[in-house]
Amino acid sequence: ALDAALGIGGLVGLVNGFFVAKFQLHPFIVTLSTQLLIYGVIIWFFSLNGNNSQPISSLSQQYKDFVGGTMFRLGNIAIPWYVLYAVIITVIMWFIWNKTVFGKNMFAVGSNADAAKVSGVNVFLTTMMVHALAGAMYGYSGYIEAVRVGTVAMNTGLNAECDAIAACVIGGVSFVGGTGKISGIILGVVVLRLIFVALTMLGVDSSSLYIIKGAIILVAVSLDMRKYLVKK
Condensed to tens digits (0 to 9), the pLDDT of residues 190-226 reads 999 998 899 889 888 888 888 888 888 888 888 878 8
Task: Tell me the three state secondary structure of residue 19.
Answer: helix
151: DSSP letter: S
Q: What is the mean pLDDT of residues 152-168?
A: 87
pLDDT over 70 percentage in the chain: 99
Per mean pLDDT, which range of 99-103, 134-138, 195-199, 228-232 is the poorest?
Answer: 228-232
Long-range contacts of 151-154 (CB under 8 A, 24+ apart): 151/55, 151/56, 151/57, 151/59, 152/55, 152/56, 152/57, 152/59, 153/46, 153/55, 153/56, 154/39, 154/42, 154/43, 154/46, 154/53, 154/55
User: Does the structure show a pLDDT above 80 at 231?
Assistant: no
The band of 29, judged by pLDDT with boundaries at 50, 70 and 90, is very high
Rounded Cα gap, residues 165 and 190, in angstroms: 13
The band of 8, judged by pLDDT with boundaries at 50, 70 and 90, is very high
Strand partners, 79: 72
User: Mean pLDDT score of the chain, rounded to an integer?
Assistant: 91
Angle at 55 between CA 50 and CA 61, to 5 degrees: 110
Rounded Cα gap, residues 54 and 150, in angstroms: 14
Nearest C-alpha neighbor of 130 from the set 83, 82, 178: 178
Q: Is 169 exposed, middle or buried (0-12, 13-18, 19+ CB in 10 A)?
A: buried
